[in-house]
């Protein structure tokens, strides 16, 4: 029997306001709702999930740096607004050997021009966007394939 993957799911700035923040774009689900959905579907038998949210770039970088100590199989990151300019998060992902997948609830490529560019994507093994909570699910499913 193969080892259950251990995944860190990081959510960046303003995602703590899901359910209140622009529900026409981000939906009615709160971040807690999303974590509950993912936990009930995957944890603990299919994947070991750890959730982390911060509005502070340095805290996200520090959490990424802990990847080896946490013995992670992968990182799933929704960098929020940091997607578009946080070179520090890009560099942190590049500095570790743990694979990361960038996810977004909304389709960033169909939004304002400044939201269409990701500085995180080149450091990640893939990007999934526009599918709501299913973006997270598809990223988890990727790590379950091994």
What pTM does this model have?
0.94
Q: Is the dihedral angle over the CA atoms 53, 28, 81, 118 positive or is it negative?
A: positive
The answer to whether 61 and 89 are in contact (CB under 8 A) is: yes
Give the pLDDT of residue 1. 41
Question: Three-class SS of residue 114?
Answer: helix
Give the pLDDT of residue 2. 58
Give the pLDDT of residue 80. 95
Of the candidates 63, 117, 114, 73, which has an alpha carbon nearest to the alpha carbon of residue 93?
A: 63
Per-residue confidence in pLDDT tens, the chain, 146 aa: 458 999 999 999 999 999 998 888 888 999 999 999 999 999 888 999 999 999 999 999 999 999 989 999 999 999 999 999 999 999 999 999 999 999 999 888 888 787 779 999 999 999 999 999 999 999 999 999 96
C-alpha 22 chain-centroid distance: 19
Placement of tokens 């923040």 in the chain: 21
Of the candidates 59, 16, 146, 82, which has an alpha carbon nearest to the alpha carbon of residue 102?
A: 82
Q: Catalytic residue numbers?
A: 26, 104
With residues binned 3-state (H G I as helix, E B as strand, rest as coil), the percentages for the chain, rounded to 5, are 45, 20, 40
Give the pLDDT of residue 123. 98
Per-residue b or e along 122-134, where b marks 16 or more CB atoms closer than 10 Å to that residue's CB: ebbeebbbeeebe
CATH class for the region spanning 6-144: alpha beta
Give the pLDDT of residue 27. 84
Q: Where exactly are the structural domains of the chain?
A: 6-144
Terminal CA-to-CA distance of the chain, rounded, Å?
12
Give the pLDDT of residue 146. 64
Question: Three-class SS of residue 95?
Answer: helix
């Amino acid at each position: 029997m193969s080892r259950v993957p251990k995944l860190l799911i990081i959510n960046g700035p303003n995602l703590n306001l899901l359910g209140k923040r622009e529900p026409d774009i981000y939906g009615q689900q709160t971040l807690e709702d999303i974590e509950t959905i993912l936990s009930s579907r995957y944890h603990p038998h299919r994947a070991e999930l750890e959730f982390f949210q911060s509005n502070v770039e340095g805290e996200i970088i520090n959490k990424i740096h802990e990847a080896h100590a946490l013995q992670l199989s992968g990182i799933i990151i929704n960098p929020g607004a940091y997607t578009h300019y946080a070179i520090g998060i890009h560099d942190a992902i590049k500095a570790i050997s743990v694979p990361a997948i960038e996810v977004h609830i909304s389709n960033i490529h169909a939004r304002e021009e400044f939201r269409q560019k990701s500085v995180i994507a080149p450091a990640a093994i893939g990007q999934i966007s526009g599918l709501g909570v299913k973006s997270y699910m598809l990223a988890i499913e990727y790590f379950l394939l091994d």
